[in-house]
Amino acid sequence: MKILVTRRIMEPAIELLKKYGEVEVNPHDRPMTREELLKAIADKDAVLTQLVDKVDSEFFDHAPNVKIVANYAVGYDNIDVEEATRRGVYVTNTPDVLTNATAELAWALLFAAARRIVEADKFMRGGHYKGWGPMLFLGKGVTGKTLGVIGAGRIGQAFARMSKGFNMKILYYDFERKENFEKEMGAQFVPLDELLKEADFISIHVPLTPQTRHLIGEREFSLMKPSAILINTARGPIVDEKALVKALKEKKIFAAGLDVYEREPEFEPELAELDNVVMLPHIGSATEESRLDMAMLAANNIVDFIEGRVPRTLVNKEVLNKK
């Protein structure tokens, strides 16, 4: 069994894979170029991919022996799952293990944006602090406010649960109601437009699909309160980035906190010029614990396949009918 790991991950996962086959790991501290990836997969039976690796028809044409693609992410919008299934290739992801880490980061962004943490830090480092002032860096309080959750999946629900200590009203929008979530948290299921109008803090937790691309655009920003804060730790293209820049510049919303971008690693240049946005380099799952768990889950999916078991987080269960 020949296995490709397209970016170095935690060593215990690599060592596990080495027990089951010949493992090639991208030696560079960067994503593989398309040319490097297509060349490397030519003789591989399994590939442990990253979110930036595009797995499409061209990929499979260059990888005639590949039987499983284990994605090192909960999302798998980088993979043409339908094409993989057609070719009898298993696709897996890493759900659950990054849920709390990503929810925690959404809260970190919320507080940083609400209390203007990054602005204040720059102010201090620049030597501008001359003493306490009653109007210095006034931000937005959190306790007792209305929290809007767009997407009540694992991460969205975990994010909402973390609000318990702040006595917040929780509104949520999803493509289906989550009655257990409503009972547990007292959350209210509302149309998206109502959530946008009522929420003080809006956090995005839906997957990227054709239906959610640019889910938040100029019209949606016009519905939000001028005091609203938008958080996105899901996928960048869910938000129209040009419309976001316009909303921030024109003070149609108070602030934003971003961990993802529409054309990663690029982003709208004007974002970097604005003080009312906090920007992070896609580190939602970047805790030592979560990244180890993700690596081990991705590796164990490959091990499951090698040992003849159904991989534990198989995405395309339809592929089982092709065997």
Which residues are catalytic, by number?
Answer: 235, 264, 282
Are 225 and 251 in contact by the 8 Å Cβ rule? The answer is no
Report the C-alpha gap between 91 and 224 in whole angstroms.
Answer: 38
**CA angle, residues 250, 115, 239, in degrees to nearest 5:** 45
What own/partner pairs with CB < 8 Å and gap ≥ 24 does 60-63 have? 60/84, 60/87, 60/89, 62/38
| H-only helix segments in the chain | 11-18, 34-40, 57-61, 81-86, 99-114, 117-125, 154-161, 179-185, 192-198, 218-223, 241-249, 288-306
Closest CA to 236 of 256, 264, 257: 264
Residue from 97, 66, 24, 22 nearest 296 by CA: 97
User: What is d(CA 21, CA 28) in angstroms, rounded to the nearest whole number?
Assistant: 21
**Residues 284, 149: Cα–Cα separation, whole Å:** 17
Cα 161 to Cα 146, 182, 316: the distances in Å are 14, 11, 30
Alpha-carbon distance 69 to 302, whole Å? 8
